[in-house]
Amino acid sequence: MSENFATLLNDSLSTLEMQPGSIVTGVVLDVDKEWVTVHVGLKSEGVISLDEFRNNDGKVEIKAGDEVQVALEAVEDGYGETRISREKARKIGTWKKLEEALETGEFVEGKVLTRVKGGYSIEVDVVKAFLPGSLVDVRPVKEAPEIENTVQDFKVIKLDYKRNNVVLSRKAVLEKKNSAEKVELLKNLDEGQIVKGVVKNLTDYGAFVDLGGLDGLLHITDISWSRVTHPSEVLSLGEEIDVKILSFDKEKLRVSLGLKQIQNDPWETIEG
């Protein structure tokens, strides 16, 4: 063992609490094809399966001399061995991160694994979480967005360690983003502009269009020059459309939109 390596080892082990269940920092002594040997300051080293060090791509990025956090499962068990776990340490660390995020409201990053009954399965580090379908997006959509196998930010809204239950919200993240976009939108929005929006809701009297954090009303009489008995005849939920700002009340934040106003008036053609 080199002098520098020995110094690193001693420094990292000097303040450890050697209690079963503790999360401690050890130093990797050796890495072979199946096992990683870690020294945590006890009489015997601990060995951990190499698989516990693989990342999401299946790669192992660890070498002798690296410091790693591990969980002590047994200190000098009946066979004179020290049992440690990298996976358990990662889970405990992730739960602590989730608890802090719940308290502070900060977002956590997670990978969307697959669709499950009622929503999506999410992986935050090594902890599985649930994203309800109602908290996927800010607007109701007929089809769920294509978010599988993507990395997203989420807000933690519920934690139950005993039941291993974590509930997340993507909707809350989007709402905060929309709030910031809304402030910027209000600075630049003006009557006569043509802007893009997404159809958020359909009613008997018209459609509500999300302009980027601010909803505008597209009245049924302003959808088309032809007679429309219901907005669903022309529009679909989640559809992106161009609309014209007909009026904008900045105090009440009311926006009236027009779709037919950016189309040719057929009556003008007939009269011509």
Fold match, 3-87 / 189-265: yes
Residue range 105-174, CATH number: 2.40.50.140
pLDDT band of residue 9 (cuts 50, 70, 90) is very low
Please name the amino acid found at residue 194.
I
3-state secondary structure of 164: coil
Tens-digit pLDDT profile for residues 120-157:
999 998 899 999 989 998 766 556 667 888 999 999 99
Res 25 pLDDT > 70: yes
pLDDT band of residue 56 (cuts 50, 70, 90) is low
Percent of the chain with pLDDT over 70: 83
Res 22 pLDDT > 50: yes
Residue range 3-87, CATH number: 2.40.50.140
Dist CA 237 CA 215 (whole Å):
14
Q: What pLDDT score was predicted for residue 146?
A: 79
- In this predicted model, which residue has the larger pLDDT, 11 or 64? 64
Domain residue limits, the chain:
3-87, 105-174, 189-265
- In this predicted model, which residue has the larger pLDDT, 162 or 17? 162
Res 37 pLDDT > 50: yes
Res 13 pLDDT > 70: no
- How does 24-57 read in b/e, with b if 16+ C-beta sit within 10 Å? bbbbbbebeeeebbbbbbbeebbbbebebbeeee
Tens-digit pLDDT profile for residues 198-253:
998 999 999 999 887 788 999 999 999 889 999 999 999 989 999 999 998 877 88
CB-based contacts of 89-92 (< 8 A; 24+ apart in sequence)? 89/23, 90/125, 90/126, 91/126, 91/127, 92/23
Dist CA 74 CA 18 (whole Å):
10
Superfamily (CATH H level) for 189-265: Nucleic acid-binding proteins (2.40.50.140)
pLDDT band of residue 182 (cuts 50, 70, 90) is confident
Q: What pLDDT score was predicted for residue 20?
A: 66
